[in-house]
Amino acid sequence: MIERVSKQGAVSLRRLLARHMARTAGKTVMSPENPRQIARKRMDAGADRLPTPDDVKIESTTLAGLNALSFTPDDHRPGLLLFLHGGGYCLGSPKSHRPLVTRLAKALKIKAVSVDYRLAPEHVFPCAVDDGAAALNWAMTHSDGPVLIAGDSAGGGLALASILRQREHGRPLPQGVYLISPWTDMTASGESTHTRAKSDPMLKPDWLAAGAALYLEDTPADTPEASPLFADLSGFPPVFIQTGDAEILRDDSIRFAEKLEQAGVAVQCEIWDALWHDFPLFAPLLPEADMALDRLTQWAEPILTPSSN
């Protein structure tokens, strides 16, 4: 099911501030004109600008040979969320996405882990997939309940690639998938790559192309583990997608959801009117980000409740 979520009232000051933050992040972090190491430090530092709930314990840990952060809500039930951060496969870390994952763990009332997978160009494809798949296999063998895998932007594509790798090896799959503005097509064949180029404050088409070149090196862009849009999606677990209508990756979500439906996979894809790439990251500043989190919990509840497992 693909659903349009209408604009929530008049433009608010909080939405304007969040959009300004998104535009600033695009220029000072996501643009390839920024020196990579500086951009990485800026992305991590950006996490300090958003408040996080104080009833979630955050600890450094390791899993499957990877550094990670673990998130344990004071009130939690059996289950585990594995989160793979975005950043175009070249930026980002568990620290940069700490506010988001903290809120996800609290809202879902389950433990979460966010892993520090290897980044390009130091480590090109398929290193990130190797790490994501190892983390997913760890989650499936160590969780005390249902497993959800989630990711934003490139992390969304990586979550899907990790499932593909897990399925290839005949291993158990997670019970659900949550994707925020997933990058599913590195060939950039979606119309929104061009039609939303002026409305998206965070991403530009040439930035996508530059990131893809660094990550793929000599790998064809339509390789399924790099672009899950071109994969066989049969047997996938239920998928929940949230994407902004004003972002260049909008069609990556819509076309992926359509392909899931064709494969007989349960999918709920929400296209949020007037919102931009990765908008749920801006909670609690952006009211719609909080609303999106509420809708996620409604979707996930049947998966996480004992009666459904």
- Helix or strand holding residue 45 (H, E): helix 36-46
Q: Is the peptide bond before 174 cis (omega within 30 degrees of 0)?
A: no
Q: CA torsion angle for 243, 213, 149, 288 (degrees, to 10)?
A: -20
Q: Single out the residue of 101, 102, 89 nearest to residue 30, CA to CA.
A: 89
> Is 217 an annotated catalytic residue?
no
Count helices and strands (H / E) in the chain. 9, 9
CA distances from 15 to 19, 273, 276 (A): 6, 13, 11
> Is 114 an annotated catalytic residue?
no
Q: Annotated catalytic residue: which of 247, 253, 270, 288?
A: 247
Q: Annotated catalytic residue: which of 143, 153, 192, 227?
A: 153
If 0-12 CB within 10 Å is exposed, 13-18 middle and 19+ buried, where does residue 306 land?
exposed
Catalytic residue ranges: 153, 247
